[in-house]
A and B are shown apart, each in its own frame.
Chain A
Amino acid sequence: MNTWIERQRGLLDTTVANLRRRKARNLGLFMAYVLLVFLLASVVLFGDGMRREARLLLEVAPELVVQRLTAGRHDLMPAQWLERIAGLRGVAAVEGRLWGYHHDAAVGANLTLQVPKEAAPAAGRVHLGATLARLRGLAPGDVLSLRDHAGQPHAFVVEALLDSRSELVSADLVLLCEADFRAFFGIGAGLYTDAALRVVNPLETRTVAEKVLARLPATRVISREEMRRTYDAVFNWRQGLPLMVLSVLLAAFALLAWDKASGLSAEERREIGILKALGWDSGDVLAMKLWEGALLSVLAFLLGYTLAWLHVYYAGAPLFEPVLKGWSVLYPRFALAPEVDISRIVSLALLTVLPYVAATLVPVWRAATLDPDEVMRE
């Protein structure tokens, strides 16, 4: 055991000396390695952060949402329907919700106008998402002017900005009171956008949904579980796209590593020849070369991952925001909560280190099995 450790130590010492000696030659590959890890890790960490954020918000979302369908399209829901739903067994509470989209030409994006469940602003006043406020250059006390369904301008006084903890989804939010909302969209009293349900026993959500459908066939029922799955799937997919693009980069990197490893310079070849002539066997040289790869990989991975972590959690991921969020110019500048996830680290390590190992293994083996008497022939 001791000789094993001493031998590995000797090999490692030699490896370190070799890396130091060939700093310039290894630097290019090392930088490419770091860059690769950085990009890949940024995509993954950013996607994770978004997913966590969305899930956080879903926790406060209603267990079931019921929407009326007319000819297969979302339609406004009459108040009587709410009562019919409330009468079902297993339903704890029903609440009609009011929300809608408004295209704001000034910022070129869709705003979400919504009547909050509680603490609604007074008539003529609104609460604004922080990003929207920034884009429109509004501060509390200023006036937000929007054109209503009939093209008439409506002026709202900005009362407060929304807490930016959940800025990802509140970025474009405009909260207003019920009367203003109905007037703005021209929606009569007794109509709601949809209905939010709380159920008595969360385990029976499915049964309740079926009952709603049975009583009101012209609706669709969306459960929070379903939403969560959908979100997860979408975020995964959105993350998958850049990952696919990056896989091309990955292949390019593997090619570079392979080229570096197989294009042994005459000098390196001679050195391996010397080692073999001096009594290193193929296994020793191979072990040394694997140490070299391992050292390079560990350093590149740590550096790349740390940079990605800082990039995503402290710099706001400027590189990827447009790619991953990209659904609106309103993308927020928000801080994702930092998190270290070991399974992500393992995945990323496999994704980046394996191509390197695979690409360099055969060239390294070829170098290690050079004939020991090669140095004598000159």
Chain B
Amino acid sequence: MIELAGVGKTFNPGRDNEFHAVREVSLSIEAGRVTALRGPSGSGKTTLLGLIGGLTRPSVGRVRLHGRDISALPERFLTALRRDTFGFVFQQFQLIRDLSVLDNVMLPAVPTGRAHADIHARALRLLDEVGLGQRAAARVQWLSGGEAQRAAIARALINDPSVILADEPTAHLDSALSRQILEILAELRRRGRTLVIASHDPLVFEMDLVERVVDLRDGRVLTVHGLSTVPMDKSACRP
């Protein structure tokens, strides 16, 4: 569903500190699958995730979503498309302090102009699903790391996106909490969502969640290999 053709991202082009964070990546993300971007720190995982999700504009190359070139869309359209298609889970949770968990979850839906009551109800349901129903009114800075990550996942789901992009979802959590988060992601996969996870945490790859691994180094794709031989769940819902 998402195709990258010869995509590259250069920071500070033409200056002394010019840096090619991603080079000539051609890749396709398949619908309903779990793809992982793997590589050491600084290999370009986050940048690539941004390129896939339309958050970062490519310096060269084309990004297509459902066959449509989105690299040159006006900001307004790109943003709307991104909002409807992608849910982002950032590396540092990126919740807004002093707002309640509920308000944080509702934020991505504000510009859509959907009815307040609908957004509100959906946010509460999502919080229930990630086990934070009780904490809806709490300020986010009082959440533990695991709770914050679950709130961030609920927020990513508020606009009902078909693709979830998660950047190092387990980076700040111990292994028990990490498993909990991965379990939630697995549940999303089961419900038919496409997942792209950037991570170098072995735990992510131990669980039978990831179906395809893209190995990155210095901004280039080294290998792409399927792990679909590993039986994933007992699920019958694989396409």
Mark the stretch among B62-70, B90-98, B130-138, B216-224 that contacts chain A. Answer: B90-98
A281 pairs with B111, CB closer than 8 A:
yes
Per-residue CB contact flags for chain B residues 73-107 toward chain A (1 = under 8 Å, else 0) read 00110011011000010111011111100010001
Choose from B108, B115, B119 the contact partner of A278 (Cβ within 8 Å).
Answer: B108
Query: Would you call A28 an interface residue if the criterion is a C-beta within 8 Å of the partner chain's C-beta atoms?
Result: no
A278 pairs with B107, CB closer than 8 A:
yes
Q: A373-B50, A377-B46 are in contact. Are A279 and B108 (CB under 8 A)?
A: yes
Residues of B within 8 A of A378 (CB): 91-92
B50 pairs with A376, CB closer than 8 A:
yes
Residues of A within 8 A of B49 (CB): 376
Query: Would you call A275 an interface residue if the criterion is a C-beta within 8 Å of the partner chain's C-beta atoms?
Result: yes
- B173 CB to closest chain A CB (Å) equals 18
Interface positions, chain B 164-208, Cβ under 8 Å from A, are 167
Q: Which chain A residue shows the least CB distance to B76?
A: A281
In the bound assembly, the distance between CA atoms of A377 and B55 in angstroms comes to: 12
Residues of A within 8 A of B110 (CB): 7, 10-11, 13-14, 280, 284
B114 pairs with A373, CB closer than 8 A:
no
Query: Would you call B112 an interface residue if the criterion is a C-beta within 8 Å of the partner chain's C-beta atoms?
Result: yes
Choose from B90, B114, B116 the contact partner of A376 (Cβ within 8 Å).
Answer: B90
| Interface residue count on the B side (C-beta < 8 Å) | 37
Residues of A within 8 A of B112 (CB): 3, 7
Chain A at the B interface: mostly helix, strand, loop or mixed? helix
Residues of B within 8 A of A6 (CB): 113-116
Residues of A within 8 A of B228 (CB): none
Query: Would you call B155 an interface residue if the criterion is a C-beta within 8 Å of the partner chain's C-beta atoms?
Result: yes
- B20 CB to closest chain A CB (Å) equals 15
In the bound assembly, the distance between CA atoms of A376 and B110 in angstroms comes to: 21
Per-residue CB contact flags for chain A residues 1-42 toward chain B (1 = under 8 Å, else 0) read 011111101110110010001000000000000000000000
Query: Would you call B56 an interface residue if the criterion is a C-beta within 8 Å of the partner chain's C-beta atoms?
Result: yes
A376 pairs with B79, CB closer than 8 A:
no
Choose from A10, A274, A280, A377 the contact partner of B79 (Cβ within 8 Å).
Answer: A280
A277 pairs with B99, CB closer than 8 A:
no
In the bound assembly, the distance between CA atoms of A11 and B76 in angstroms comes to: 17
B55 pairs with A372, CB closer than 8 A:
yes
Q: A17-B103, A378-B91 are in contact. Are A278 and B55 (CB under 8 A)?
A: no
- A248 CB to closest chain B CB (Å) equals 37
In the bound assembly, the distance between CA atoms of A275 and B55 in angstroms comes to: 12
Residues of B within 8 A of A9 (CB): 116
Chain B at the A interface: mostly helix, strand, loop or mixed? helix
Residues of B within 8 A of A280 (CB): 79, 108, 110-111
Query: Would you call A271 an interface residue if the criterion is a C-beta within 8 Å of the partner chain's C-beta atoms?
Result: yes
Q: With a 10 A CB-CB cut-off, give which of A21, A275, A279 has the most chain B CB atoms.
A: A279
Interface positions, chain B 112-142, Cβ under 8 Å from A, are 112-116, 119
A14 pairs with B107, CB closer than 8 A:
yes
Query: Would you call B159 an interface residue if the criterion is a C-beta within 8 Å of the partner chain's C-beta atoms?
Result: yes
Query: Would you call A283 an interface residue if the criterion is a C-beta within 8 Å of the partner chain's C-beta atoms?
Result: yes
A3 pairs with B76, CB closer than 8 A:
no
A21 pairs with B92, CB closer than 8 A:
no
Residues of A within 8 A of B167 (CB): 376
In the bound assembly, the distance between CA atoms of A270 and B95 in angstroms comes to: 10
B116 pairs with A281, CB closer than 8 A:
no
Q: With a 10 A CB-CB cut-off, give which of B50, B108, B111 has the most chain A CB atoms.
A: B111
- B6 CB to closest chain A CB (Å) equals 20
- A269 CB to closest chain B CB (Å) equals 12
Residues of B within 8 A of A377 (CB): 46
Q: With a 10 A CB-CB cut-off, give which of A5, A267, A376 has the most chain B CB atoms.
A: A376
In the bound assembly, the distance between CA atoms of A377 and B12 in angstroms comes to: 14
A281 pairs with B113, CB closer than 8 A:
no
A277 pairs with B55, CB closer than 8 A:
yes
Interface positions, chain B 40-75, Cβ under 8 Å from A, are 46-47, 49-50, 55-56, 75
Residues of B within 8 A of A196 (CB): none
In the bound assembly, the distance between CA atoms of A11 and B113 in angstroms comes to: 10
In the bound assembly, the distance between CA atoms of A279 and B86 in angstroms comes to: 9
Residues of A within 8 A of B79 (CB): 279-281, 372
Query: Would you call A139 an interface residue if the criterion is a C-beta within 8 Å of the partner chain's C-beta atoms?
Result: no
Residues of A within 8 A of B109 (CB): 10
In the bound assembly, the distance between CA atoms of A274 and B107 in angstroms comes to: 10
A277 pairs with B94, CB closer than 8 A:
yes
- A170 CB to closest chain B CB (Å) equals 60
Choose from A21, A281, A375 the contact partner of B99 (Cβ within 8 Å).
Answer: A21
B114 pairs with A279, CB closer than 8 A:
no
Residues of B within 8 A of A14 (CB): 107, 110
Query: Would you call A131 an interface residue if the criterion is a C-beta within 8 Å of the partner chain's C-beta atoms?
Result: no
In the bound assembly, the distance between CA atoms of A5 and B116 in angstroms comes to: 10
Interface positions, chain A 327-378, Cβ under 8 Å from B, are 371-373, 375-378
Residues of A within 8 A of B96 (CB): 271, 274
- A159 CB to closest chain B CB (Å) equals 71
Per-residue CB contact flags for chain A residues 253-297 toward chain B (1 = under 8 Å, else 0) read 000000000000001001100110111111110000000000000
CB<8 Å pairs between A and B, sample of 7 = A7-B111, A9-B116, A10-B109, A280-B79, A280-B110, A375-B92, A375-B94
Given A3-B112, A271-B96, A376-B50, 6 other A-B residues pairs in contact with their CB atoms under 8 A: A2-B115, A4-B113, A7-B111, A278-B108, A280-B111, A282-B75
Residues in chain A within 8 A of chain B (CB atoms): 2-7, 9-11, 13-14, 17, 21, 267, 270-271, 274-275, 277-284, 371-373, 375-378
